[in-house]
Chains A and B, each alone.
Chain A
Amino acid sequence: MLNKKTSLAPKMGMLILMFFVAVAIFAPIISPYDPNTITSPYLKPSREHFLGTNDIGQDIFSELIYGARLSLFIGFFSAFIVTLVGSVLGIVSGYYKGIVGRIIMGVTNIALVIPSLPLTIVLAAYMQASIWNIIIAICATSWAGTARIIRSRTLQIRELPFIKIEHALGVGNLQIMFAHILPNVLEVILIKGTLAVSSAMLTEAGLSFLGLSSSTAKSWGSILHYAFFRNGVLNNYWWWYMPPIICISLCVLGFMLLGYHGKGKNKTTNKMELT
């Protein structure tokens, strides 16, 4: 019975994500308005404006659809960089156990202790508010978790007989690392990568909610920011603040369902910085 449940979870996750990805890709077709077009502000949901309009008269439903684009883009792009950097550092430091490995590991351990959300905020505050700076801030602070897990996996794999044989046969280090070790840690990388997308999306939403994103960028977090700071919540315009909340939560749930499958009993995720 338990087995049925675990195989159902990633399917559900996949379904949720496919929905959002489709929305993001076909945003111009689906959305009834250009999210930047301005009409009358604070309209209630109606036939013309499915979810009403915001404080400056933009269609919230269209904002939400384009928001999927930006939120997912930032999530995927940051996760890609984070996972790439983390994996390379993890494999290299696991493979070269000597001074190189020690230095990388030392830096990783330090990076793990530095609280990432405050650092991200400070970084984002120093830089001009823009999507790219948010991505840079996310990447700079969240590669360490991936690096550590990949490193410990690499340490296990490098002790396996087949790697030792390769070594004895004089196969080059680079080739061993990327042709033989990489395929064996790929599963962990994919799992970490999936979870990295959701954690990047959460960070982005948090930063945007605090108003650290560019004022023209439309992500779910920034919709929520305006809904909260421009009296949407105070006046209980649920059609304004609820949809972004639901979208963020559903999307994160989708990534979690997908990522925790095959993760088994691994309990070392550093989600706590965000929740």
Chain B
Amino acid sequence: MKAAAILKRIFEYALILFIIITINFLLTHYMPGDPILHLIGEEEYYNLMASNPQVIEEMREKYGLNKSTLEQYWIYLKTTVTLNFGYSYIYKQPVLDVLLFRMKWTLMLLIPSVIISAFLGAFLGIKAGWKPGSQFDILTTPLMLLINTTPTYCISIFVLTFFSFTMGFFPFGGMTSGGLSGLDKALDIMWHMFLPLMILVISKTSYDYFIMKSSVIEISEEDYILTAMSKGLSDRDVLSKHVLKNALLPYITVVCMQLGFSVAGTMLVEVVFSWKGMGTLIQRSVQVKDFPMLQLSFLFISVCVIISNIISDLLYIAIDPRIKEGESRAQ
């Protein structure tokens, strides 16, 4: 019964992935400008154009750009499936290699920040949602709202200038001081990642906080909470045995989904702290119009989002006994 539901979701996501690949194809081939320009970069393109234009024609042949749209599409799909995403003319490397290297650094910020803020947001959200209107709630909610409305890169700039420039507690950015190895290097990296990590944590916490708070408030008003109280459970037990499990269900799935979207979210923070992850990679690629790199980044982030969606769906199906065959997540 559940297997059918899972299969259906996976099929849906496969379709979405296919559509994203198609969008990428359409972008290269139908955006203004010569597709060859998009493949080899402006500088190279104009150089070749001036010196020996027949090379461009050869490339046109090689990439099949003279063929019909349908054939080109087929070629594009084949190269994508074989993970051949092209060559970055900036980094002089296959784009996939560059991306995987950078991804490592992004995950180093992303995974701890999602985990820490999931716990922190849950803890604070439960505390505020269980007794709405309490002193804790009145103090925390406006603060969280303020963090939530300030873009992360703005907080980053503020924090960077204060802690690094004015106080001198932390480095100006980057990831290592260089010339270190072993434990020293690890400590040095941690010192460098402290501020960006902290910013990601507080901004994600503020988001998680509101989700958990509203979830707890909603669950507290359910009939079964009254039933639990009527049995003689203490407030604490009502919270831990009846409210939490029900409130965690939507929370976990939202946090999982966030994992994928956060790849994009960390981007601007990385730029401010010159953290050489995916974010700075995308930013640089935009500046120099490294289109193969941009396309792969977009595809890659989409895959992250899809994977985290699948995880979140699977968790939901696993935890919630109410889910029936073919029924999608309650929205």
Contacts and interface: CB of A to CB of B under 8 A. Distances in A.
B217 interface: yes
B133 A1 contact: yes
Nearest to B221: A265
Contact of B31 (A109, A119, A126): A126
A228 B261 contact: no
A2 B261 contact: no
Contact of A271 (B154, B207, B218, B301): B207
Given A211-B283, A275-B152, 20 more contacts: A1-B133, A110-B15, A113-B302, A113-B309, A114-B19, A115-B302, A118-B282, A119-B298, A121-B294, A122-B294, A123-B27, A125-B291, A127-B32, A234-B172, A241-B157, A242-B158, A272-B257, A273-B265, A275-B207, A275-B265
A210 interface: yes
Nearest to A268: B331
B74 interface: no
Given A110-B15, A126-B31, A236-B165, A115 B145 contact: no
Nearest to B287: A211
Contacts of A228: 157, 272
B268 interface: yes
B88 interface: no
Contacts of A205: 151
B264 interface: yes
Chain A, interface size: which category? 35 or more
A116 to B, nearest CB: 8
Contacts of A128: 32
A165 B33 CA distance: 55
A202 interface: yes
A69 to B, nearest CB: 20
B291 A126 contact: yes
A209 interface: yes
A178 B298 CA distance: 38
A275 B148 contact: yes
Nearest to A270: B261
A273 B309 contact: no
Contacts of A119: 23, 298
A249 B160 CA distance: 18
A2 B161 contact: no
B151 A249 contact: yes
B27 A126 contact: yes
B253 to A, nearest CB: 12
Given A233-B160, A267-B215, A248 B151 contact: yes
Interface string B280-315: 001101110101001101100110011001000000
A272 B154 contact: no
A248 B154 contact: yes
B286 A125 contact: yes
Contacts of A241: 157, 161
Interface string A254-275: 0010000000010110011111
B323 to A, nearest CB: 18
B301 A118 contact: yes
Given A245-B150, A249-B149, A209 B268 contact: yes
Contacts of B305: 113-115
5 contacts: A114-B23, A115-B302, A126-B32, A205-B151, A209-B271
Contacts of A110: 15-16, 19
A87 B331 CA distance: 18
B146 A253 contact: yes
Contact of B306 (A113, A212, A233): A113
Contacts of B272: 228
Interface string B218-259: 100000000000000000000000000000000000000110
A122 B298 contact: yes
Contacts of B210: 267
Nearest to A1: B133
Contacts of A162: none
A160 B69 CA distance: 48
B149 A210 contact: no
B260 interface: yes
Interface string B186-224: 000000000000000001101100110011011000000
Nearest to B278: A118
Interface centre among B149, B154, B218, B263 (most CB of A within 10 A): B149
B260 A115 contact: yes
Interface centre among B154, B172, B214 (most CB of A within 10 A): B154
Contacts of B146: 249, 253
B149 A256 contact: yes
Interface string B109-133: 0000000000000000000000011
Contacts of A212: 286
B262 interface: yes
Interface in A1-51: 1-2
Contact of B161 (A148, A233, A252): A233
Nearest to A211: B287
Nearest to B283: A210
B154 A210 contact: no
Contacts of A273: 261, 264-265
Contact of B151 (A238, A242, A274): A274
B147 to A, nearest CB: 9
